[in-house]
Every structure is written in C-alpha cells, then in structure tokens.
Amino acid sequence: MTLYSRRNILATSAVGGLAAVSATRALAENGPGAAAAMSDPGPRDPAQAAINPYDWQSLPTDHGNLGTLRHSFSQVHNRHTDAGWAREVTVRNFPISKAMAGVNMRLPLGAVRELHWHVPAEWAYVTYGTGRITAVDSGARKFVADVKEGDLWFFPGGVPHSIQGLGPDGCEFILVFNDGNFSEDSTFLITDWFNHTPKEVLAKNFSVNASAFDRADRKDLWIFNAPVPGNLADDLAQSKQPEVPNPYKFSLLDQKPVFSSPSGAVRIADSSNFKATTMAAALVEVAPGGMRELHWHPNSDEWQYYISGTARMGVFHGEGRNNTVEFHPSDVGYVPQSIGHYIENIGKDNLRFLEVFTTPEYADISLASWMANVPHELVAAHLNIDISTLQRLAQTKTPVTPIQVGG
C-alpha cells in the first residue's frame, strides 16, 4: 500500500480518533468546558490533519511555532517525460530549507539524465535498482562507474556528469544540492548549449566540418531514452585519459557501521572515508521503540530523507520553543544548525533515514555525553537530578539509544 493511500484510508479515523480521545481525556480531567475546547466541528481536511497529528494535538512539552519542519516528495509537482521523471523540494515549497534542496528522480532501463552540469555540488543516494554514472573533472580525467541501491555519489559543483538506468529496471535516487534555491530545471544542458551556438563556431571549436552538426538540433532532452550501455570496462577503455584521483562513488550501505547495537546502526560518509565529497551524510537505522539520541549538529543544517518506517522528531529551538513532527517514507525533514532534536521510531517496522550536511566532516554533539563529561555536581545543580543517575550516563556517544532503559 502506498503512503498516499495509507494516509487517506487512515486520515478520517486518525483525526477523528485523536480528537475524540483528546476530548474524552479533557472531559475526565477538566470538565465539559475543556472537552469543548478540544472539539473541532469543522470545516476541516482530515487527510491533511492526519499527516502530522502533532499539529492538532501537540505533546504537553511542545510550545511555540517553529514553522514547517517537514515536507514530502509525495506532495510536490512531478515533471514527467516518456523516459522518466523527477520531483523536487526546494526553498520555494519548503521555506526552512535554505541551505539544501532535494530531488527524487526515476530513470527506468536505458533512460538518461542528459549530460549537464550546475553550480552547486550534487550528493546522491540510490534507493532502488542500478545505474551508470559518468563525469570528467577539470584535469580532463575520466570517471565511469556503476551504482546500486545503498551507493552514493558526489559531483563537485561545475563537474559535468550524466546518469543512466541499467538492467533490469533502471534506478531511483535522491539528490541533495548545497543550495536551497537550486532547481533541477536550472542545469546547464549540453543540447541547450549546442542549440545556442553558431555551427561555424562549433566547427572551429571541434576542428570538424560544420555539416557534422546538421542534425545536432535536439533541445532540452533532460531525461530521454538511449541505448542501454554495454560492459563497464569497455566504456572505461574508450578514453585513454587517467581516472579521477578520488572516485565520485561510495558504497555507503556496504560500509561497517560506526555504531551498531540491537537498537540500530549508523553509517557515515564524509571526507574522512569518501575523499571526493565536501558534503557529509549518515544513514541511520532505528529498530521499533529505539531512538536517535537527543543531539545537535554544530557545523551545518541537517537535511533528512525518510526511506522506511514511521518516525517522530522533537525539535528544541530555544526561547522555550519545541515542536514535534511525524514522518513517513518519501518525507523530507529539516533541522537548522545547532538546534537540538531527537528522532524516535514509533512504528512497527525498522526506521531508515538519511542525514545530509553541507560540510565535509560529520559532527554531532550528544546531550547525554555532554552531561556525563562535566562535573556531576554542576549538572545536578541545574536539573535537580541525583548524582547517582548522572554517574550512570555513558561518557561516549550513543547515537541510537537502547530500546528499553532500566531503572
């Protein structure tokens, strides 16, 4: 069942049930007036209200308005061609996402994302299938590689590249650009340049006869069908140039987690292990009942993409403000730099999501390890917590907390 259908099927019952439970609880605790305050005679849109139930009935700890912290690729315009499609979440439809923009693209077997380049850097994660990527750097060094689900790539700003779907069913992937204003429609296409350059200039540039370009009048191919590429080794052999010194591909899912426990795992790709990148990322997995610990990122805003499962994120922005948001697959989340948050698996399935940053090094600060590594008496004076409790806190970070906590 798709996310859209699931949400629509459950929308009326979810919102109605939430309102009924809230009203019943208010009646029991505070009398008829409080119950009436929780009612919603309408008009209302149950489908929209069900997307994030915490907008209607927030947690008691929530306060203030942090703006929209969630958007979804399922709610944005999808640009289709006969060969494939793409949809984007940018600052235009997700205003808080100032530092990063995201694109979700599907390339079936043989479909090509046209040879192009752009100003921002491009970070990508393959969510389905296989594809072939190509690039050439400023030293005319080549790069051709095949990618599969769980792989990522990184193309620095200005580096020309392409993507093509391989068998059996092409690929789907997420792109993240280090500019929230960037649009997938704002790329420099090779066909577009040819169409706006006189043939005699092309002939002079390539040292061939102008008639060689008599049929080079294709416009804005963007995503189009082309012959399925052959053997990777053959494609690499066509160019005698050396390969780029730092490959633009990285197999993130194949990496050993930097943290692993029965509660979940974290894999990190940054400049320490993926030399080509200037954008850091983490692939986080959380078992049902587990939680990405209370933390913040001191160096960058955080762009999130939810691959599977159901999550609840609490965001603390200071000034007494705190909001809670629910996420499902295809949703995008955003947390500004140094803003505290946690992400909890509230569903029955494993939660998997991406964290992406504009800086080359991954960095986070754990609330628990901060408290454990300063004098206990100082923390106790602030929070009125027993020192014996503080002594039990882990001094190292625990990115995914245990599902069950004793004591």
CB-neighbour burial class of residue 399 (10 A; exposed 0-12, middle 13-18, buried 19+)? buried
Q: Which residues pair with 351 in a beta bridge?
A: 286
DSSP state of 100: -
382 annotated as belonging to a binding site for a ligand: no
Q: Residue 118, Cα to own-chain centre: how many angstroms?
A: 20
Give the residue from 215, 124, 139 showing the smallest Cα distance to 178: 124
| Catalytically annotated residue among 293, 355, 361, 377 | 355
118 annotated as belonging to a binding site for a ligand: yes
Q: Are 322 and 364 in contact (CB under 8 A)?
A: no
| CA–CA gap between residue 254 and residue 292 (Å, rounded) | 21
Give the residue from 88, 38, 95, 42 showing the smallest Cα distance to 66: 95
63 annotated as belonging to a binding site for a ligand: no
Q: Are 251 and 151 in contact (CB under 8 A)?
A: yes
| CA–CA gap between residue 300 and residue 312 (Å, rounded) | 21
Pairing of strands 291-296, 365-366: antiparallel
71 annotated as belonging to a binding site for a ligand: no
Give the residue from 395, 362, 363 showing the smallest Cα distance to 376: 395
CA atoms in the 13 A half-sphere facing the CB of 11: 15
3-state SS assignment for residue 322: strand
88 annotated as belonging to a binding site for a ligand: no
297 annotated as belonging to a binding site for a ligand: yes
Cα distances (Å, whole numbers) of residue 45 to 12, 16, 50, 164: 9, 11, 9, 41
77 annotated as belonging to a binding site for a ligand: no
- Per the annotation, the verdict on 172 as an active-site residue is no
| CA–CA gap between residue 271 and residue 167 (Å, rounded) | 31
Catalytic residue ranges: 355
Q: Which residues are annotated as a binding site for Mn(2+)?
A: 116, 118, 122, 161, 295, 297, 302, 341
Q: Which residues are annotated as a binding site?
A: 116, 118, 122, 161, 295, 297, 302, 341
